[in-house]
Structure 1
Amino acid sequence: MTAHEDVRAGFHLAQFNVATLHYPLDDPRTADFVAQLDPVNALADGAPGFVWRLVEDGQADATRMRPAGDDVIVTFSVWESKEALWDFVYRSTHLAAMRRRREWFQRHAEAHLVMWWIPAGRIPTVEEGLERLELLRAQGPSPRAFTFSASYTAEEAVAAGAMVDGAEPAAL
């Protein structure tokens, strides 16, 4: 194992994104999106490098949670690496849903997806996701909050002191 792999093995990648709905989830115009939720979530759950995703208590997903607004749904997950997340998003059948996103969601003028490194075994909070997204929107990409196109390594996050201070690992 190289030094790079050794450092990276101690960290996972958190990703948080928001999507503003054109129509409520029970509207017929979002039926195709809703029909894809279970298959896409099952695909994520079985994807190489997948660690965790946010689900509401007693539900299969988090679409009824609205921490960012009544018409905004969130997706929140943790992955072993940026490459594992990329492969799920852009190299799986998830891409077919992504290609249709404009049918269901408004175009965001500002950042809608944020990523950051966390200690392996720690589950980030929704509040942390919202804070990281706001940090990205306010200051642009940094080791604390970044995107696929402007990303940072776990080593850079550690060097920049970008890990959450005092965070206790949570059971996955």
Structure 2
Amino acid sequence: MSDHTSTVSRPARFHLAQLNVASLRFPLDDPRTADFVALLEPINALADEAPGFVWRLTEEGRPDATGMRPAGEDVIVNYSVWESAGALWDFVYRSPHLEIMRRRRDWFRRHEEPHLVLWWVPAGRIPSVAEALERLALLREQGPSPRAFTFASSYTAEEAAAAGAVRPAASGGSEPASGGSDSAAPEATAV
């Protein structure tokens, strides 16, 4: 008789959603933003292939979401879902994406309030853009919590679940991909 115990990996119960907003210094068709626009396609392709990537917001019929302006006419949004905080961190800070971070002041105004929000969602659920904006507003109004946080003040999925900030999706199916009706912008589509 063997005293080995086999470990069966369980599917992830939670994924990490992130919304990042950026206020443009110049319109996207301005020559001063040409370098940023040229980087969109390769960086989005890099994200799509990154370990732990689940989904990113795109405008219907477009490869990105730069035409969507749910947070204001001069504000572009970057909204995605990842398997873990580590996977998102690695993409943002340990990939060629870091070069965009280093040059962000060339293209975007400095924000006086938080511009990035993270929160846990049941695996398989993509929250609406409206929910993402609500999470950013919550962070701005109340500061970091298990419902809306940043890399610098993060919470684990287990901490968020224990605080009632997220609940696992019901077994036997996932919640709707759109996360509900969203009148602020077209429905999110998976890539």
Q: Classify the TM-score, shorter chain.
A: over 0.9
Higher helix share: 1
* Structure 2 residue 173 is the aligned partner of structure 1 residue 170: no
1:32-71 residue pairs with structure 2 within 5 A? 32-71=35-74
Query: Aligned to 1:100, what secondary structure does the other structure show?
Result: helix
Ranges in structure 1 where 5+ consecutive residues have no aligned partner: none
2 CA distance for matches of 1:169 and 1:120?
9
Q: Which residue of 1 aligns with 2:23?
A: 20
1:161 is matched with 164
Q: CA deviation at 1:130?
A: 0.4
In 1, are the aligned partners of 2:123 and 2:168 still within 8 Å (CA)? no
Indicate which of 128, 135, 138 corresponds to 2:138. Answer: 135
**How many positions carry a matched residue from both structures?**
169
C-alpha distance in 2 between matches for 1:154 and 1:37: 30
Partner of 2:97: 94
Aligned match of 2:77 in 67, 74, 83? 74
What's the CA shift for 1:166? 8.8
- The code of the aligned residue for 1:169 comes to E
SS of equivalent to 2:18: strand
1:110 to 105, 108, 113: 113
Q: CA deviation at 1:88?
A: 0.1
| Percent of pairs with identical residues | 72
What is the CA–CA distance in structure 1 between the aligned matches of 2:25 and 2:131, rounded to whole Å? 26
Give the letter aligned to residue 18 of structure 2: Q
Name segments (4+ residues, structure 1) moved above 3 Å.
Answer: 164-168
Residues 66 and 152 of structure 1: CA distance in aligned 2, closer, same or farther (over 3 Å): same
Secondary structure of the corresponding residue to residue 113 of structure 2? coil
Shift of 1:165: 9.8
Q: TM-score, normalised by structure 1?
A: 0.93
Gaps of 5+ in 2: 1-5, 178-189
| 1:9 aligned counterpart, secondary structure | coil
